[in-house]
Structure formats: structure tokens, C-alpha cells
Amino acid sequence: SQQGEEDPQALSIQEGENATMNCSYKTSINNLQWYRQNSGRGLVHLILIRSNEREKHSGRLRVTLDTSKKSSSLLITASRAADTASYFCAPTTSGTYKYIFGTGTRLKVLA
């Protein structure tokens, strides 16, 4: 099992701006997932990128993966106040049953 480390810890932007957050990990992976947590709620799966993919899009979300640098980034374009949440990455290795989450990036989008 391994833990992703999100960076920055906190991010504050204006509505309409783009938000970028990063994730680093230590060992090789099969895929990497991003989750969102609204205040007081459970995590919600946003997007999964496989180790043989470099970029993936889903609506206003764009995820990149650089396996040589063992890092991933999540870009939220044209942010909205409703995007205010904590974002977590989960790097996953085949045969691993433990999901270890980091402390996340707390995003605040100001209206």
C-alpha cells in the first residue's frame, strides 16, 4: 500500500479561475484515483487514470499522470463555488488491498 501526498494543502481562488492540485507517490502504480469530499460528507470518486494513460478528461476536470516523476495533477477549469471541497488522490497498486489517503488539498472557491 502507499499514500499519495497532495499539494498544496490549501488553495483559495476566485470563481471562474482554474485550480490545480498535485499528488506525488513513491512506488509504481496501476492506477491513480482522485476523490472529492464536501464538508462533513463521504468521499466521492471523481476520476481514475491508468498507469498507461498520460491525460484524461471528465467535464471540467483534467487529470495528468507522469509515471517517471511519480506525480499526478488535477485541474479544475472555470471553477465554481460548488467546487469548494477537499480533494484527495489515491495511488493504487495491483494486489494491494489497503487504500491510504493523504491529508488532501482544501480548495476554496470565492464567489
Contacts to other proteins by CB under 8 A: 30-31, 33, 35, 40-45, 48, 50, 88, 90, 92, 94-95, 97-104
* Residues 6 or more apart in contact with residue 52 via CB below 8 angstroms: none
- Helix (H) or strand (E) holding 107, with range, is strand 105-110
Minimum distance, C-beta of residue 104 to other proteins, in the bound complex (Å): 5
Residues 13, 111 contacting (CB under 8 angstroms): no
| Distance of closest approach, residue 35 Cβ to other proteins, in angstroms | 8
Can you tell me which residue has the cell 460548488? 82
Measured CA to CA, the distance from residue 33 to residue 81 in angstroms comes to 23
Beta carbon nearer to other proteins, 11 or 48? 48
Nearer to other proteins, 1 or 18 (CB): 1
With beta carbons less than 8 A apart as the criterion, state whether 7 and 65 touch.
no
- For residues 15 and 93, which CB has a smaller minimum distance to other proteins in the complex? 93
**Least distance from other proteins to the Cβ atom of residue 7, Å:** 13
